[in-house]
């Protein structure tokens, strides 16, 4: 691999990381609680733990954050069985 390609790859990773941090920082402080109300009670440790994943997966995070304001309710077979057992 020639040095030109290495520089392009490193620059691409740096751009991805910069955009990721620009999306992840506001997301962990505001966006996560919009999508999941339980995240509003998250500690600083929770926010710090979700920051790297939010930065790395910023296209998915941004799409979900802007596209759906509230997380959809889980309706899997496991959830329905738990609801039946609980009498809900």
Q: What is the mean pLDDT of each run of 10 residues along the chain (88 residues)?
A: 84 96 92 81 87 94 78 76 81
Q: Compute the CA torsion angle 42, 79, 83, 73 (nearest 10 deg).
A: 60
Which bin fits 15, alpha (ψ -120 to 50), beta or left (φ > 0)? alpha
Please report the pLDDT score of residue 20 as a whole number. Answer: 96
Residue 18's pLDDT is: 96
Q: Are 55 and 17 in contact (CB under 8 A)?
A: yes
C-alpha separations of 33 from 13, 40, 43, 54, 73 in Å = 28, 5, 12, 14, 15
């Amino acid at each position: 691999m020639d040095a030109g390609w290495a520089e392009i790859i490193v620059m691409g990773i740096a751009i991805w990381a910069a955009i990721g941090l620009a999306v992840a920082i506001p997301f962990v402080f505001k966006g996560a609680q919009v999508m999941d109300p339980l995240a509003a009670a998250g500690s600083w440790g929770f926010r710090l733990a979700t920051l790297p994943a939010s930065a790395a997966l910023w296209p998915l995070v941004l799409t979900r954050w802007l596209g759906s304001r509230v997380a959809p309710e889980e309706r899997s077979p496991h959830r329905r069985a738990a609801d039946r057992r609980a009498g809900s």
